[in-house]
Amino acid sequence: MAPPRNRRPGFSRRAQYGLFLGYVGAIGGALVGAVLLLLSTFNPPAYAMVRGFFAELTTPVSTALAWVERGFAGIPGAVSEHFNVQGENERLRKEIETNRTLVDRARTLNQENRRLRQLLGLKRESADAVVAARLVSSTPTSTRRYAVLNAGSLQNVARGMPVREADGLIGRVIETSLNTSRVLLIVDSESSVPVRRTRDGLPALAKGRGDGKLDVHSASLTGVGFKSGDVFVTSGTGGLFPPNIPVAVIAKDARDTAEAVPAANPDALDFALVLKPFLDEPPPEHPAPGGEAPKAAPK
């Protein structure tokens, strides 16, 4: 048989206790409210003390609940901010990389323009300049050291002409075509340049080693001391290289033969200046008809 649909509370002890506690709570709440109302009306200081007491009890709980609420409410914003910050950082990194590339390119162009201005100024000051040309290639790893200029016979470049940069001597032309020239660098093992020391005029020879450096040794004396930092320039001996062009700087102290570095590094150059030889080659002697040399006129 099914139980009746509406059962009175008296049939359940738990329901009776719940109903009783509900009545007690309601009556107690009404009494507390009445007491607080009477205190607020007839004794405000006492009411303020009671209110402060309950505030002290409820404030920590309210603070904790507010902190938890703010934490949960801030989760979506924190997640969104995280992804926004990550995207912004990626954008800034790309922008910094782009700016770094532009800065490096600007520095390279600035250095190239500075060297070109120096070279053009040198060309204006030099009466024996032939043409300013670009170094289009070089051989930095081979024992034979050559470079190629984008100027040739059409630009009046000829075999044997010296080639220099603003910082010093580079080499000499050994082959030419219409628009290109091949240059034997001073660091080549087959290159030898007459030089002199700037501080005392000591004559010497700067010979290439094939490894990007030079050996400098005295041309006439033995037991000559070389000091680190000694500067050697072309002496003009031989009539090929004009004098006073920087050639080498001694790298470390030595007695007879010293290791030196070139004043101008061709591996880091963009432009070069082709010069006329210091002295013109003497005209060839033409023999007289019949194969005999012309005789001097009698005095």
Contacts of 5 (CB under 8 A, 6+ apart): none
247: left (phi over 0), alpha (psi -120 to 50) or beta: alpha
Per residue, the 3-state secondary structure of 1-32, as one string, reads CCCCCCCCHHHCHHHHHHHHHHHHHHHHHHHH
175-180 average pLDDT score: 92
Comparing 125-139, 179-193, 200-214, 216-230, the range with the smallest average pLDDT is 125-139
245 touches 264 (CB < 8 A): no
User: Would you say residue 228 has pLDDT above 50?
Assistant: yes
Contacts of 97 (CB under 8 A, 6+ apart): none
Give the tens place of pLDDT for each residue, 26-46: 887 777 777 766 766 777 776
User: Would you say residue 172 has pLDDT above 80?
Assistant: yes
210-239 average pLDDT score: 88
User: Would you say residue 178 has pLDDT above 90?
Assistant: yes
Contacts of 193 (CB under 8 A, 6+ apart): 169, 186, 205, 206, 207, 234, 241, 247
Most confident by average pLDDT, 7-21, 61-75, 102-116, 246-260: 246-260
* CA gap 122, 116 in Å, rounded: 10
Q: What is the pTM of this model?
A: 0.56
